[in-house]
Structure 1
């Protein structure tokens, strides 16, 4: 039996990257999975095919997390198709790298709406469904090492990830009485579409790799295990926590 056997897991931003790895990993751990995605139908279908290849049910629901109605629709449609909501993995996020002094307002506001507002809407919608169901649940948010450290070209992004981390802490207090646990994972540099252009320079990539004690940058699959652990009953007394998944980069000051 897998760690998530009998559970239904919802994952936002799951057509690629960390979200896709978490969704497929959840299916491998025994869960039925609903994924949210923005616009890549082929990638979403591929993710569902991988979920079904694990012998689990999957459904893909398109929507922009920046819009409040996307959250309510995603949760309702997932519950209707799969019967319930046990776990939400809030993963959807963007990071269009840009300098601070001439940051376009649209870039700043879009990043805020997707990463922070979208997280709030999704967590609230899933929590309301879990409260109605009456048997608790787990929420895992994908924050970032950027919640703890700065980035010259991420002045719009790092505040959103700090906000997601803080949201989980406060939601853990608000939802504990309903047996809903809220935790976050803080990835380091993970090789995804978000940073592929930033790391296209071989010298920069080598520098980043050399700063990681484990000697490599992360893969999306490196997040699946920590997310599944926090979503599972093995973490039944863990809430309000943040788990760094960064190969040791944060502690490598010297």
Structure 2
């Protein structure tokens, strides 16, 4: 047996790099994984590979989230669904893009917690929630006014949720990754003039892989971290230690 046998864990953003790696690691450790994304087409590959159960909903719609999560018996949640938005300063940000980033990254994650937690509480078995935040919530990064703000809000959602749900033995934590060179991030961080100077400031000097982030997520979900709650864990090669 593994620590996740008999435990059902929802992973949003399961079609992405970090979400997919998390689904794989959880499935390998015996979890019943529900892989969520906006469309079934996006989930075909990860579902075929892992045997996860597909689930679709729109993170911008509370009705969609509430309907999808109604009746689910969950032990854990990974809020990995996200939107990168734009590269912009406070002076030239498109406020409609800002609103969309907040709506998906912060509001959407909160709504998943809002509609997943009652069932977890009713089951009486405790549980664990991990929100995928960013180093951009911990330090200021050029051009990241919308993304960084959304992830800073998500970190506060983590802390308050940990405070409120601890009485039910439900832990809530965040992971705060550095750049994972996914399709979403490559358009900006893949530029030599941007990525090169950034890596020079990072003690470990390399980009993270999806697996680098999935491992700590699985740790925070599992019993080895059963006294860890309300934490925002940097997974950033030492960047925010500077």
TM class by smaller structure: over 0.9
SS state at 1:122 partner: helix
Give matches, 1:102-113, under 5 Å.
102-113=92-103
User: Quick one: distance in 1 between partners of 2:144 and 2:157?
Assistant: 20
Which one of 103, 116, 119 corresponds to residue 126 of structure 1?
116
Bigger CA drift: 139-148 or 204-213?
204-213
**How far is 1:119 from its partner?**
0.9
Structure that is richer in helix per residue:
2
RMSD: 1.5
**How far is 1:124 from its partner?**
1.1
Q: What residue ranges of structure 2 are gaps of 5+ in the alignment?
A: none
1:86 corresponds to 2:80: no
Give matches, 1:66-77, under 5 Å.
66-76=60-70
User: Quick one: distance in 1 between partners of 2:126 and 2:139?
Assistant: 33
SS state at 1:157 partner: helix
TM-score, normalization by structure 1: 0.90
Provide the residue aligned with 2:44 in structure 1. Answer: 45
TM-score, normalization by structure 2: 0.94
Check whether the contact 1:75–1:129 (CA below 8 A) recurs between aligned residues. no
1:117 corresponds to 2:107: yes
Check whether the contact 2:155–2:232 (CA below 8 A) recurs between aligned residues. yes
* 1:29-52 deviation per Cα after TM superposition (whole angstroms, max 9, x unaligned): 21011111123x444111111212
Provide the residue aligned with 1:60 in structure 2. Answer: 54
1:95 corresponds to 2:84: yes
User: Quick one: distance in 2 between partners of 1:243 and 1:105?
Assistant: 29
Provide the residue aligned with 1:55 in structure 2. Answer: none
**How far is 1:204 from its partner?**
2.6
User: Quick one: distance in 1 between partners of 2:117 and 2:221?
Assistant: 14
User: Quick one: distance in 2 between partners of 1:193 and 1:76?
Assistant: 32
Q: What residue ranges of structure 1 are gaps of 5+ in the alignment?
A: 53-57
User: Quick one: distance in 2 between partners of 1:62 and 1:192?
Assistant: 22
SS state at 1:250 partner: helix
